[in-house]
Structure 1
Amino acid sequence: MPTQQAPGAVTFADLFAGVGGFAAALSAMGAEHAYAVEIDKHAAAVYEENWKHPALGDVTKDANDAGVTVPPHDVITGGFPCQPFSKSGAQRGMDEVRGTLFWNIEKIVRERKPTLICLENVRNLAGPRHKHEWQVIIEHLRNAGYQVAEESAVFSPHLIAPDFGGSPQVRERVFITATLVPEHMVMDPDPAPVALPEHVLMHREWNLVEDLPMDASRNVAGTEISLDERAWVDHWEQMVVFMRAWRADQSRRTGEPIRRLPGHPIWADAWVSTSAERERLLDGAPAWKAGFLKKNFDLYDGLREFLGAKEMGKWLRRVRQFPESRRKLEWQAQDAESMWDCVISFRPSGLRVKRPTHLPALVAITQTPIIGPLKRKLSAREAARLQGLPDNFSFGTQRDALTYKQMGNGVNVGVVNQVLKAHCERDKHLLLATERGRAIYAMVSSAPDLPREAVAERLDALQRTPDTASAAAVLP
């Protein structure tokens, strides 16, 4: 059974709920569940384990042409499925079935008239390719009586200072926030997009290990680097050493400053010497690829001249035994001395190497990055910290692979907290015009800027409360 609501409490409906990123932010503010739905059984089990509210279900069964069974609520949230708009998907937008799930949200909104809407999706939803879909969403919300900005509002946890809930992760997401316009008031036809105040923003470089923070130990269960992974890194590390020596030699001979390592993609498969081989690679290649190929030809020629054909051939024979994506290097670490000083991500485009300031976005479909200074991968608990979840958030006994996937699909708690605060300030005049709006504004504006402790306290309280629903068994 769901938790009991306090009389007059602000309530929320949590659609596409995952493990509860929106629930964390709103629960920490004092809001209470009216409804939650999540179709993935593993994520739903984690949700109920922590928030003591059932979530397993299908929103299309609760909101469709036959009617809406979602109960009344004050706030509606949802990170609706992003695959139709994501650059990693087919980008069919609303032509895909999953893209039409916005219509189920709209049915709930029109039927229940929540005072505040907060939806989240990948940045690409507001990109040029999906301009039509974006405008359709905005127009339909306005037609339903909501004030919403047409200009997109994109936020990322790495842009927010840690004292305000930020975290060292580049995770750009577009937020659609809207307020129900009271009948006696006039909708602003072109409201400004939600923007975070200057004092909330990050004004220094992140330190991943200290700011997350990461556990200092190199021996964290489930974070081990495989023998193959270590071999890939070590072999490319040898080439980094070669390239640095080559750059130093160039500097000595020319008197010019030492040049950085190449910033373009380095493709070992393009390191060929004959004209015939190069022409074959260039044949039919689009302009962008041809440009990178020519840079690789020049790089190979310079390195082979410096190292000698024998040493170069020895290195190439080894690297060509690796899988195709491991025969590529993307050096984005500027002047870092060693790959093992950096964060290393295994991507289809190659080994991406960055300085250990902040991490690329957690995603559900790729491997977790290697934290070079610690000689291990990011742990599942550290991934949860990146999303703003405190250490008492429980994943039960499920496999770490499921936790990584859930974090890759999740919403960042600190970002939600700051977006809600900024939105309520922008639409303060609308909110203060109604009884439920005043309750929402009072709750959000008085909430802590840093939600982590409040989330942890809420989780503890739910675990102690005897009349909450029994925790669901987290599925293995």
Structure 2
Amino acid sequence: MEKFKFIDLFAGIGGFHVAMEKLGGECVFASEINKFSIATYQENYGMDAGFDICQVAEEEIPAHDVLCGGFPCQAFSKAGKQAGFVDTRGTLFFEIERILKFHRPKYIVLENVRNLVSHDGGNTWRVISAKLKELGYLITESPIIMSPHQLGIPQLRERVYILGILKEHTLLDTLIIDIPTPVKHKTNAKKMLDGKGGDEYRISDYEEMVLDAWDDFMQGIDKKVIGFPVWSEEFRATYDYSKLPLWKQGFIAKNRELYQRNKPFLDGWFKKHDNLEKFVPTHTKFEWQAGDSIKSLWEGIIQFRPSGIRVKRPTEFPALVAMVHIPIIGWEKRRLTPREAANLQSFPKNFKINSNPQQAYKQFGNSVNVEVVKFLADQLFQLGKNT
């Protein structure tokens, strides 16, 4: 596509901005309300994004060819209350709707969480789809679901992308975007590492002790592939669980059966790690999601999560999220650095990262993946040439 102008709504730290500039775009307006993200945006693009879009009249926004927006997902995310909406009034999607109605940009490129597709039995997607069609946009019949690992980037991060072309700018009757076939575990997480994880990223002595205990567990039990969460407090428990929810009954039964099969070893394990009772309660729970690809916990990628300690293959990182569960690189016994988080989100090497590590992790967790946006938008712009 030739030179074009775009706006960056709910801009964060500018994942859309980077992707659009790579395709020849010029940002003419950006909107963000988080003060830390506003500062990072200013530092990288020399542009003030500090505008609350709810307070900006549509006529005050410059004319543009492309509207980009990763509109906030709390209404649809599994991590939120999943309230969604019956119509768009009172939601931030309404801000996109009113701007589209006034400016009628040729293209729209939107992003949201995976759960948008299934939320409210699919009604949320139907409302969004219907509104965009009413405004004259040709969109894909189904929302596009794509993850960076489909482009060879080692992060499993499925997100929904909504792409559209104003009908008066195309002769197409349908909008079809090609995406690579999802193939998990074919990437290499190590290629994202920069080798600069100093002592400040090293796990604590307590965390190493906890992980050593669970590594001993994995070395000693009879089955190395576990298809359920391990709850160590259930191993030797004897209470009646028949009135609990069926899903919980199933997990408890599997844990107690695992203990009975491995009783001599696990009794010794409890004795060896007699400090288990001092573990943070969530650290007495364990999820092995690495299949038979590795032999030791220390060969995998680890997260301390509210549901327990989770171990994954060393092929790709779990999705970076705004809630900070920073992945641990098992073989280096350290956490991912902010620069490595930037790598996973495809930000360029010269991107200026927020000096506060916690803010940096949050910002990259909230961001779109630059290469995924670029890949999809490039196809959209090519299809727009069919006029």
* Smaller-chain TM-score bracket: over 0.9
Q: Which moved more, 1:282-291 or 1:40-49?
A: 282-291
CA contact (8 A) 1:344 1:351 kept: yes
Is 1:236 aligned with 2:227? no
| 1:273 CA drift (Å) | 4.4
Q: Which has the larger radius of gyration?
A: 1
CA contact (8 A) 2:185 2:316 kept: no
Deviations 1:356-391 (A, max 9, x none): 100110001132111011121100000000000122
Report the Cα distance in structure 2 between the residues aligned to 1:11 and 1:22, rounded to whole angstroms: 12
Among 1, 4, 9, the alignment partner of 1:10 is 4
Question: Which residue matches 1:424?
Answer: 381
Is 1:121 aligned with 2:109? no
| 1:150 CA drift (Å) | 2.7
CA contact (8 A) 1:268 1:316 kept: no
- Does the C-alpha gap of structure 1 residues 222 and 410 become closer, same or farther in structure 2, counting only changes over 3 Å? farther
Report the Cα distance in structure 1 between the residues aligned to 2:39 and 2:160, rounded to whole angstroms: 27
Q: What aligned pairs does 1:330-345 form with structure 2 within 5 A after superposition?
A: 330-335=287-292, 336-345=294-303
* Helix, strand or coil at the partner of 1:182: helix
Question: Which residue matches 2:158?
Answer: 172
Among 299, 317, 320, the alignment partner of 1:359 is 317
CA contact (8 A) 1:10 1:31 kept: yes
CA contact (8 A) 2:217 2:269 kept: no
- Aligned CA RMSD, in angstroms, stands at 2.3
Is 1:131 aligned with 2:106? no
Q: Which runs of 5+ in 2 are unaligned?
A: none
CA contact (8 A) 2:10 2:70 kept: yes
Among 203, 209, 223, the alignment partner of 2:190 is 209
Q: Which moved more, 1:75-84 or 1:130-139?
A: 130-139
| 1:95 CA drift (Å) | 6.7
Q: Which runs of 5+ in 1 are unaligned?
A: 1-7, 162-166, 248-258, 434-476
Question: Which residue matches 2:260?
Answer: 301
Counterpart of 1:196, as a letter, is I
| 1:426 CA drift (Å) | 4.0
Is 1:49 aligned with 2:43? yes
Among 177, 194, 197, the alignment partner of 1:194 is 177
Is 1:61 aligned with 2:55? yes
Q: Which has the higher contact order (CA 8 A, sep 6+)?
A: 1
* Helix, strand or coil at the partner of 2:363: helix
* Helix, strand or coil at the partner of 1:136: helix
Question: Which residue matches 1:284?
Answer: 243
- Does the C-alpha gap of structure 1 residues 401 and 114 become closer, same or farther in structure 2, counting only changes over 3 Å? same
Among 132, 135, 141, the alignment partner of 1:150 is 141
Among 224, 239, 242, the alignment partner of 1:260 is 224
* Helix, strand or coil at the partner of 1:177: strand
* Helix, strand or coil at the partner of 2:227: coil
Deviations 1:198-241 (A, max 9, x none): 7xx7797111112x2x1235x52531211221121111112112
CA contact (8 A) 2:70 2:368 kept: yes
| 1:428 CA drift (Å) | 3.6
Report the Cα distance in structure 1 between the residues aligned to 2:228 and 2:185, rounded to whole angstroms: 27
* Helix, strand or coil at the partner of 1:351: strand
Q: How many residues in Structure 1 have an aligned counterpart in Structure 2?
A: 385
- Does the C-alpha gap of structure 1 residues 96 and 115 become closer, same or farther in structure 2, counting only changes over 3 Å? closer
Question: Which residue matches 1:460?
Answer: none
Counterpart of 1:421, as a letter, is D
Report the Cα distance in structure 2 between the residues aligned to 1:182 and 1:96, rounded to whole angstroms: 26
Report the Cα distance in structure 2 between the residues aligned to 1:368 and 1:58, rounded to whole angstroms: 29
- Does the C-alpha gap of structure 1 residues 343 and 416 become closer, same or farther in structure 2, counting only changes over 3 Å? same
| 1:99 CA drift (Å) | 6.9
* Helix, strand or coil at the partner of 1:178: strand
Deviations 1:406-436 (A, max 9, x none): 000000000001111222344442xxx3xxx
| 1:83 CA drift (Å) | 1.0
Deviations 1:387-411 (A, max 9, x none): 0012210025x21100000000000
Deviations 1:423-459 (A, max 9, x none): 2344442xxx3xxxxxxxxxxxxxxxxxxxxxxxxxx
TM value normalised by structure 2: 0.93
Question: Which residue matches 2:356?
Answer: 399
Question: Which residue matches 1:318?
Answer: 275
Counterpart of 1:261, as a letter, is V
- Does the C-alpha gap of structure 1 residues 124 and 98 become closer, same or farther in structure 2, counting only changes over 3 Å? farther
Report the Cα distance in structure 2 between the residues aligned to 1:413 and 1:428, rounded to whole angstroms: 23
Question: Which residue matches 2:331?
Answer: 373
* Helix, strand or coil at the partner of 2:310: strand
| 1:192 CA drift (Å) | 4.6
Question: Which residue matches 2:236?
Answer: 272
| 1:59 CA drift (Å) | 0.4
| 1:338 CA drift (Å) | 0.9
CA contact (8 A) 1:152 1:193 kept: no
Deviations 1:290-323 (A, max 9, x none): 111100010111221x3274x2442574222211
Q: Percent identity?
A: 39
CA contact (8 A) 1:388 1:414 kept: yes
Among 55, 71, 94, the alignment partner of 1:103 is 94
CA contact (8 A) 2:218 2:224 kept: no
Counterpart of 2:248, as a letter, is K
Question: Which residue matches 1:453?
Answer: none
- Does the C-alpha gap of structure 1 residues 187 and 107 become closer, same or farther in structure 2, counting only changes over 3 Å? farther
Question: Which residue matches 2:83?
Answer: 92
TM value normalised by structure 1: 0.76
